[in-house]
Structure 1
Amino acid sequence: MITKSTIPSDEDLTAFIDGELTAEEAARIEAIVKQDASVAERLEFLARASLPFEQAFAPLLQEAPHEKLEAMLAAIPAHKGARSASAPAATRRRFLGALAASLVAGITIDRTVIGIGRGFSAKDESSEWRAVVADYISLYTAETLAGPVPGRQDQAAQLASLDEKLGLSLSAEAVSLPGVDFKRALLLQYDGKPLAQIAYLDPETGPMALCIVKSDAGPKAPDLENRKGMNVVYWSSGTHAFMLIGHAAAHKMTAIADGVRERSAV
């Protein structure tokens, strides 16, 4: 009988995907997957998800207590049948451990760090990528985006790296948001496709992000939805899909998105 206490966690499922479990542990999860459709669905989604959490949270982890973190990871016992010492060290399971350690530094990380994608419709690609991004951005706090605002030259350099992969031309002026600080532009990946994330910090409501992926779904006028307690304005051109997500009120998010569309013609 499968009970709540025997259902594998996301960390266990991720370790299973990465081949880090012993033969006994792997066999246990395989048996549960065969019996429980929800666990099977969860495993399939985690196997597909490819957002680089380590890259996006690198600034956050730099603030973590490294000595305590290393001690915690060193204390994890080695399992027979797990990967050899020659295997890559930066696995997702160890990264989850790093996020947990960052709590010692007083940085709040939502326990859904890898918990993305419940109940998605595989047929609605547009909805799915927005749901993934919403789960991802929900991990951000003001502390995640703390630090000085990059100068326009640095902003332009970061945006240029996105242009190359996405086939866009985004200037710092085009993606500037009124009253909201530009913090960084990152190139991530979703389902094998480049995903641009331009992160901002609203002094009143906290983290905000403009995210872009290539899309052949065709043009779509702006629409509004709510995900993870945040407002999302999304639209698409003939070649790309866009979403602006943040904690600001719906009317403010809509006005900001309209401004981005006008200045960047996207």
Structure 2
Amino acid sequence: MNTKHTIPSDEDLTAFIDGELTAEEAARIETLVNQDKAVAERLEFLARASLPFEQAFAPLLSRAPREKLETMLAAIPAREDAKSRSTPVFTSRRRLLGALAASLVAGIAIDRAVLGITKGFWAKDENSEWRAVVADYISLYTPETLAGPVPARDVQAAQLGSLDEKLGLSLSPEAVALPAIDFKRALLLQYDGKPLAQIAYLDPETGPMALCIVRSDAGPKAPDLESRKGMNVVYWSNGTHAFMLIGHAAADRMTAIADGVRERVQL
């Protein structure tokens, strides 16, 4: 096999984004990105998927006039290390201020250190990728996918019970019931070799919705909100599991529904 044209893994692309590859490896991936649209799109996704750019920089942009931003951008020194050599492939990640300031200076890369962003802000979210995979999957659902009568309570209980052994869950139909939204099915899926619980619902107003759960040792995380594939996602975790509620309902309604689930589901 000619490894020069091997499609890079997400791990390799992430290392490329963070400037952790050797010059030779970085050059290989840069060539693939320039030649393969799929690789370029995947790199762009990984570079921006879990970074709350708009929220993070809104205060800066609200305070800083156009001239001040131009001065900041012009003052950024050129970098000659491996990171700067790989920068042109994903300039949207490094020239964020320029883009947010209506493309004041095209093509200028902004270093993390210049922005004063802490290391924790850029730390990899271990749960981000599984949420992306779930969003891809749920985006294929239509109301017809989940058509049919609501299962009886004993059927719901049996389906939820099948999740217990693999995920260490103890879920009742009442615990996972969503207000004015029909329970449709509970499935045990698999992501990256790990069991993944998917509880699917049909909201008569907005269509398919799902509560998904995986084991996680990343520690507790307060609920947060993001958008994926045109859907709103509320996600959180406790000491043993990570959760996400995904659907087409408005953000405030999704947040309220997720709050109810968190109160009822005690693991």
How far the C-alpha of 1:41 sits from its partner, in A, is 10
Q: How has the CA–CA distance of structure 1 residues 192 and 248 changed in structure 2, closer, same or farther, with 3 Å as cutoff?
A: same
How far the C-alpha of 1:116 sits from its partner, in A, is 8.6
Q: How has the CA–CA distance of structure 1 residues 205 and 117 changed in structure 2, closer, same or farther, with 3 Å as cutoff?
A: farther
| 1:165 alignment counterpart | 166
| 2:134 alignment counterpart | 133
Residues 26-175 of structure 1 aligned to structure 2 (within 5 Å) = 36-37=32-33, 119-120=45-46, 123-175=124-176
Aligned length: 165
Q: How has the CA–CA distance of structure 1 residues 227 and 191 changed in structure 2, closer, same or farther, with 3 Å as cutoff?
A: same
Q: For 1:166-220, what per-residue CA distance to the aligned partner results, in whole angstroms no more than 9, with x for missing partners?
A: 0010111000000000000011111110010000000000000000000010001
Structure 1 unaligned blocks of 5 or more: 1-31, 44-114
How far the C-alpha of 1:146 sits from its partner, in A, is 0.4
The answer to whether the Cα contact below 8 Å between 1:117 and 1:131 also exists between their aligned partners in 2 is no
Letter in 1 for 2:32: D
Flag the structure with more relative contact order, 1 or 2, with Cα contacts below 8 A and sequence separation at least 6: 1
| 2:222 alignment counterpart | 221
Letter in 2 for 1:185: A
Q: Which has the larger radius of gyration?
A: 2
Structure 2 unaligned blocks of 5 or more: 1-27, 48-122
| 2:256 alignment counterpart | 255
| 1:76 alignment counterpart | none
Percent identity, aligned pairs only, is: 77
Question: Is 1:207 paired with 2:208?
Answer: yes
Q: Secondary structure at the match of 1:265?
A: coil
How far the C-alpha of 1:234 sits from its partner, in A, is 0.4
Letter in 2 for 1:238: G
Q: Distance in 1 between matches of 2:135 and 2:194?
A: 17
Q: For 1:13-67, what per-residue CA distance to the aligned partner results, in whole angstroms no more than 9, with x for missing partners?
A: xxxxxxxxxxxxxxxxxxx999524788968xxxxxxxxxxxxxxxxxxxxxxxx
Q: Secondary structure at the match of 1:133?
A: helix
Q: How has the CA–CA distance of structure 1 residues 199 and 254 changed in structure 2, closer, same or farther, with 3 Å as cutoff?
A: same
**Higher helix proportion, which one?**
2
Q: Secondary structure at the match of 2:218?
A: coil
Q: Distance in 2 between matches of 1:243 and 1:228?
A: 14
TM (norm. structure 2) is 0.57
Q: Distance in 1 between matches of 2:262 and 2:169?
A: 13
Letter in 2 for 1:175: V
Q: For 1:100-136, what per-residue CA distance to the aligned partner results, in whole angstroms no more than 9, with x for missing partners?
A: xxxxxxxxxxxxxxx9996236943211111111111
How far the C-alpha of 1:163 sits from its partner, in A, is 1.4
Q: How has the CA–CA distance of structure 1 residues 33 and 202 changed in structure 2, closer, same or farther, with 3 Å as cutoff?
A: same
Q: Secondary structure at the match of 1:147?
A: coil
TM (norm. structure 1) is 0.57
